[in-house]
Amino acid sequence: MGGMSRWLDVEAGNDDIDINTLPSNIALVDLQNDNEFKLVIGDLGRGDEGPRLKIFKGAMQISDLELPDLPLGVVSLYTSETLPRSTPLIAVGFSMGVYVYRNFKLFYKYYLPTVELNTSEMEVWRQLTNPENHKEETIIALSETLHNMPQKVLSIQSRDFLSLTLEQQLEFLENATDLPKKRHREVACITTMRMNSVDRYSVSCLIVGTEDGEIIVLDPQTFTQIYLVKLCTVKKTPFQMVATGLYNVDYRITVATREKCVCLLKRDWKEGRLLFNTDEHIVAIEVLTTDNSVMVICTDNTLACYSRKGKKQWLVSLEQRAVALTLLPVLQLGATLVAVALASGHVHLYDGKATRDTIFLRDVVSVMKFGQLGQEEHVFIIITSNGNLMLKILKRTADFNPHAAGIEPTASAAAQKPWLIPKKSKLFLEQSARERENAIAMHESFQLELNRLRLVAARTLLEAHTKSDNFVGAGVMEPIRLSAEVEGLGPVFRVTLVVENTSAEKAVIGLAVLFHVHSTHYKVYNPYIKVPLLGPGNQIKFPTKIEEIFSDNINPDVFFRNVTGQAGEGSLIKVLLLKDGRSYPVLAATVTMPPTDPLMIPYDKIKTSDFGTVD
């Protein structure tokens, strides 16, 4: 199956089409909400023809609009989800701001916020506006000082002044009365990002990258600044941005800069971070939506893939200089190809490192775009350096697997291509490898911990048996269970003991209950109780009255012992279950008595104590 047989060529309807544009100045927009996508191009113009916004229906130009300046980016966005659905807006970025168009008419102008001039430039202008310095030597020296300053930090007035001749500068200074106080930020690139939903017609926000290395996010309703952040600690100038995710959920803004690096900005970050550096200048980047890996073409004739964390995964050396890059998401195949245009006229389609198709053109590609045009979902749009428009429709029977592409995968190629393994599977494989490498050590460690657990359990059981401090019977007394309930506000409480026989077959006889208390704190009216025959599966309740004893001088802290944690052993009552013929208790339960409500204290005790008095 040949490479060209996968595509249907569409001839442009007008031989006079002459397009001069940039990769950022092209967009596919459903202008009328009729699922008929139009091609919107920001044309830079040639010769005497100025910049224009051109609209194409298929390969035919149907409209154009004059632009005030050279466009830096063209994007479309929706600002409302109300029904009936409103038409999309077209945002065009210029150096001084962003113009928003609706129905081919200017809808809104957004200008970047101004910044104060630096002190050096202000000092030069103070000297220039002084009439005593209107001399050729002085003006030449001050102009040289302005020339030595970085052009990015100079105001527009300073740039215009430097472009004048000496005579024009003298004339300008004679008429100039005001000093430049502020400098306008300049737009470097623009893009959009959806706010809450991945739906095609959901609301999107506009993102603007400035020459000062800042990223500004605009509100989709009012076009006011809602987020401003620096791209990096060290100033980096963006020239291409790719936004993925949702602004109100989680997102990633991958930014290519002119300083041979790619930066990353994520939600809630106060400042962007450097993702990775490249050896040469970057031509273009694209981000795969599947795993957020970054595809990069550079001026050193290379195509590289970086992971979402900035680690280089692989690199392919190209035959010629790369001039354009775009993604080809083929929904019918469930794959995303990467198209790389070379200066030789070849366009290579890659699936990872493997070449799946090659298209040869008789001209050098300038701009590439893939998406829905008209009602065709898979249209490859190519604009050449000579201004020609080419459309290629992907056949529904196209197949990009290795056999269909005429490529026989070798063992070395298969070994070099990384497998896309899910995170949980990868973790399982790593754990299995670790267990195989350290099998003996892990087995010894497991046996050691298991023996330690058995020893602790045996010691705890022996200690409980020795102290008889367990409320569930063990051994021959295994079916017996002892519990206690405390009722009342005090000082007289009702303690109900429950003795239960959990056995389904055997009865128990010869049991007795004994209360062990501190005689100075509590008085038990029936400290010894004989337990009658207890049948299988039955239980017997023994209500007992216990009274708290108060001394002549009551300490107020005794009423708040549960809060202060100063209850001590005086508030504990131990209930022992005895068995005939045994010298030690078979079961034991410890009851923590609650404090007596202060309102229930006998009057004579309150009268004779200092409780409730104020010093």
SS3 label, residue 263: strand
* Residue 3: pLDDT over 70: no
Q: What is the pLDDT of residue 8?
A: 87
Q: What is the pLDDT of residue 153?
A: 67
Radius of gyration of the chain (CA): 42
Tens digit of pLDDT for each residue in 110-167?
988 877 777 777 777 777 777 777 777 787 888 888 777 776 667 767 777 777 787 7
Tens digit of pLDDT for each residue in 464-514?
666 544 444 444 555 788 888 888 877 888 888 888 888 777 778 888 888
146 vs 51: CA distance, rounded Å = 31
Give me the residues paired with residue 42 across strands: 53
Would you say the C-alpha torsion 385, 386, 389, 393 has a positive or negative sign? Answer: negative
Q: What is the pLDDT of residue 590?
A: 82
506 vs 381: CA distance, rounded Å = 90
Q: What is the pLDDT of residue 464?
A: 62
Q: Are 76 and 103 in contact (CB under 8 A)?
A: no
Task: Output the six-digit token pair for 362.
Answer: 């008789």
* Residue 563: pLDDT over 60: no
Tens digit of pLDDT for each residue in 256-270?
999 899 999 998 888
User: Look-up: residue for tokens 């009439």?
Assistant: 131
Residue 615 confidence class, pLDDT cut points 50, 70, 90: very low
370 vs 383: CA distance, rounded Å = 12
214 vs 206: CA distance, rounded Å = 14
Choose the weakest-confidence range: 149-153, 206-210, 315-319, 575-579: 149-153
* Percent of the chain scoring above 90 in pLDDT: 27
Tens digit of pLDDT for each residue in 45-77?
887 888 999 999 888 888 889 999 899 999 999
Task: Output the six-digit token pair for 108.
Answer: 């809104």
Sorted by sequence, the CB contacts under 8 Å of residue 380 that are 6+ apart come out as 7, 328, 339, 368, 369, 370, 391, 392, 393, 394
Tens digit of pLDDT for each residue in 519-529?
777 888 888 88
* Residue 16: pLDDT over 60: yes
**Cα 582 to chain center, whole Å?**
69
571 vs 558: CA distance, rounded Å = 10
H helix intervals, 542-611:
561-564, 603-608
Sorted by sequence, the CB contacts under 8 Å of residue 352 that are 6+ apart come out as 305, 314, 417
Give me the residues paired with residue 464 across strands: none
245 vs 265: CA distance, rounded Å = 12
Long-range pairs for 517-524 at CB < 8 Å and ≥24 separation? Answer: 517/546, 517/573, 517/574, 518/569, 518/570, 520/549, 520/551, 520/570, 521/548, 521/549, 521/570, 521/571, 522/546, 522/547, 522/548, 522/549, 522/573, 522/593, 523/547, 523/549, 524/573
232 vs 265: CA distance, rounded Å = 9
210 vs 112: CA distance, rounded Å = 9
Peptide bond into 220 cis (omega under 30): no
Sorted by sequence, the CB contacts under 8 Å of residue 444 that are 6+ apart come out as none
Q: Are 59 and 379 in contact (CB under 8 A)?
A: no
* Residue 312: pLDDT over 80: yes
Q: What is the pLDDT of residue 2?
A: 45
Q: What is the pLDDT of residue 418?
A: 59
Q: What is the pLDDT of residue 82?
A: 81
Q: Are strands 97-102 and 105-111 parallel, antiparallel or unpaired?
A: antiparallel
For 260-270, letters b (16+ CB in 10 Å) and e give ebbbbbeeeee
Q: What is the pLDDT of residue 207?
A: 94
Helix or strand (DSSP H, E) at 357: strand 354-360
* Residue 593: pLDDT over 60: yes
Q: What is the pLDDT of residue 568?
A: 56
